[in-house]
Amino acid sequence: MDFSKDSARSLILKQLSSGQKLLAVSKLQPSEKIEKLYSEGQRDFAENYVQEALKKIETLNHLDIRWHLIGPLQKNKVKLLKKNFFCIHSIDSLDLAMRISDASLEIQHVQKVFVQVNLSGETSKSGYEVKNLLQDWEKLTNLKGISVDGLMTMPPLENIPEKNRVFFKELKYIGSKLNINEYSMGTSHDYRIALEEGATWIRLGTMLFGERQQKRDHQ
């Protein structure tokens, strides 16, 4: 389907079932484009880099935006999170989860998080291996400063989206065993398959905003 920038959001929303939500990935996009999408009714926006996100949060603090962090989080950036993010989708280790929990408790906060699961086995991707996730699950869910509300995965970028169906099915299966009902999965090239397999958050960027800027400031 060929979406124009003006109609993309409304057309995508028509494809969502009850409980399925659109996450606008605004990394490397200017504030003006975020404000435009906000004016169309979008409230959930996602960033990959903490410091880029914090600059936008400050610039756009007059808007009622729910900010999500979906990129890998370096442990030395945990102190910057504070209460800035509605949800962090990229918890990939017990150590990182513990650090976020401790930092949250210091400010009397409970941070909503999703655990990222590496189902493809690609070393270039972050995320828990399934066996390690199952081993750590009780400890993760017992941390007082975080609320583990969902699972996230990033399957290989395939030209044939159907090939990613197996990864979405597997994430949903794992979640069903862990009593999880929220799934962050599906991007511009495979979101339709992800929705069919039970995604509750789809992460779309250029389809909504147009092309990204080519460079970003050092984070």
User: Residue-wise pLDDT tens for the chain (219 aa)?
Assistant: 444 444 689 999 999 999 999 999 999 999 999 999 999 999 999 999 999 999 999 999 999 999 999 999 999 999 999 999 999 999 999 999 999 999 999 999 999 999 999 998 777 788 999 999 999 999 999 999 999 999 999 988 777 889 999 999 999 999 999 999 999 999 998 999 999 999 999 999 989 998 776 555 444
* Three-state secondary-structure class, residue 202: strand
So what's the pLDDT on residue 2? 45
| pLDDT of 120 | 83
pLDDT score of 215? 57
pLDDT for the residue 211: 78
Q: For the chain, which residues make up each domain, given as ranges? A: 8-207
CATH fold for domain 8-207: TIM Barrel (3.20.20)
3-state secondary structure of 47: strand
Cα separation, 146 vs 7, whole angstroms: 37
DSSP assigned state of 161:
G
How far is the C-alpha of 20 from the C-alpha of 199, rounded, in Å?
A: 7
